[in-house]
Amino acid sequence: MFPLLSKTARAGSVVLRQQQHRQYCTPVVNIFDRNVKRLQRERAARRDDVELYDYIKEEVGYRLADRIFDIKRQFTNAVDLGAGRGYVTNHVLGETVQKLTAVDLSPAMLSQIKGSPGLDFSIREMDEERFQFEDDSLDLVVSSLSMHWINDLPACFRAVNRALKPDGVFIGAMFGGDTLYELRSALQLADQERKGGLAPHVSPFTQIRDVGMLLNRGGFTMLTIDTDELVIGYPSMYELMFDLQGMAESNAAFNRPVHVGRDTLMAAAAIYKDMYARKEEGVQATFQIIFFVGWKPCASQPQPAERGSGTVSLKDLGKVMTPTGSGCKK
């Protein structure tokens, strides 16, 4: 027999159990097979024509390196997370970053990093999901088109935040939810037509509305998030899929279909051409890029004023913005 408790005591125990359950019962769902992704990168890096498939990652890496240059300070210790073949490292200037460590899952990719003249860089094989550096040891972490393959993004963001010094900055780019929506739609329609169901041929991507929330949960502040789209033309769907394989961006989800029938591919290619044909020739493919900047909190950063500390009413805002006698004189 359980002892009789008052309603207040029973309610308090229920709340306590719920709080404990919320704290510990947040399991991570592993969507991507990291071993498969490692093999894909290794195979792509060993291709003789690997440079032909770097056009998207080189473009985005150059843009991220330019954003590092826009921050008017010199970084003493930086990390390129998911460096690949050095898409960011090869464009970072030695005058901006004193020491840079390029980390990636694939040793074959890391061995092909050239760096830029005057840059002191080193390579380190590391899974992005197991980001491990000493606490408060870095003042810059940059990541280009790698984090969309990480299963536990909040944990990765927290690890980056711990490794950053106060007022350190995290700059990154990742594929957004609208990436390859044409290919996804064509394959889904072909599956429905041929098999009467759907299969996850294209990996899921993070939505832009979720990136800010995840960065806040990771402990970052003063967030800046924007998005851009790269629309690229291909002769057909097959060339697009071939290039994705060369980029090491093939599907790596655990529930991906092992085999896609020829009839399904032919149907998908016909649907793709019919729905997303370019005006000139061939088809188009959209790559949505989400750029973000987050800072580790520091006492020296600008702080919001306390609530109720304002001294000007909103109704007088026009007078403040346009003081008396400041108009154009006729």
pLDDT in tens, 134-184: 999 999 999 999 999 999 999 999 999 999 999 999 999 999 999 999 999
Query: CA nearest 85: which of 241, 203, 247?
Result: 247
Task: Give pLDDT, residue 260.
Answer: 84
pLDDT, average across residues 62-80: 94
Domains present along the chain, CATH in parentheses: 34-180+205-231+288-297 (3.40.50.150)
CA 133/CA 128 separation, integer angstroms: 12
Which residue has better confidence, 37 or 312?
A: 37
* pLDDT tens-digit series, residues 81-99: 999 999 999 999 988 999 9
Pick from 51-65, 132-146, 167-181, 292-306: least confident: 292-306
Residue 306 is inside which H or E element, if any?
none
Instruction: Please report which confidence band the pLDDT of residue 27 belongs to, taking 50, 70 and 90 as the band edges.
Output: low
CA 265/CA 277 separation, integer angstroms: 17
Mean model confidence pLDDT for the chain: 87
Task: Please say if the pLDDT value at position 13 is more than 50.
Answer: no
Beta bridge partners of 230: 287
Task: Give pLDDT, residue 273.
Answer: 94
In angstroms, what CA-CA distances link 297 with 154, 168, 223, 293? 17, 8, 11, 13
Residues 61, 63, 67, 70: what is their CA dihedral angle, to the nearest 10 degrees? 130
What would you report as the CA-atom Rg of the chain, rounded to the nearest whole angstrom? 25
Instruction: Please report which confidence band the pLDDT of residue 325 belongs to, taking 50, 70 and 90 as the band edges.
Output: low
Which residue has better confidence, 16 or 128?
A: 128
Task: Give pLDDT, residue 313.
Answer: 80
Count of helix runs (H) and strand runs (E) in the chain: 10, 7
Three-state SS at 87? coil
Polymer length of the chain: 330
Residue linked to tokens 């805002």: 317
Q: Which residues contact 267 (CB under 8 A, 6 or more apart)?
A: 189, 190, 193, 194
pLDDT, average across residues 36-41: 94
pLDDT, average across residues 66-87: 94
Which residue has better confidence, 258 or 191?
A: 191
pLDDT, average across residues 267-290: 93
Beta bridge partners of 75: 97
Instruction: Please report which confidence band the pLDDT of residue 314 belongs to, taking 50, 70 and 90 as the band edges.
Output: confident
Task: Give pLDDT, residue 11.
Answer: 47
pLDDT > 70: what percent of the chain?
A: 88
Instruction: Please report which confidence band the pLDDT of residue 126 belongs to, taking 50, 70 and 90 as the band edges.
Output: very high
Task: Give pLDDT, residue 233.
Answer: 95
CA 289/CA 211 separation, integer angstroms: 12
Pick from 26-40, 53-67, 152-166: least confident: 26-40
**Distance from chain centroid for Cα 72:** 24
Pick from 70-74, 294-298, 301-305: least confident: 301-305
Which residue has better confidence, 25 or 213?
A: 213
Rounded to two decimals, the pTM is 0.82
Instruction: Please report which confidence band the pLDDT of residue 291 belongs to, taking 50, 70 and 90 as the band edges.
Output: very high
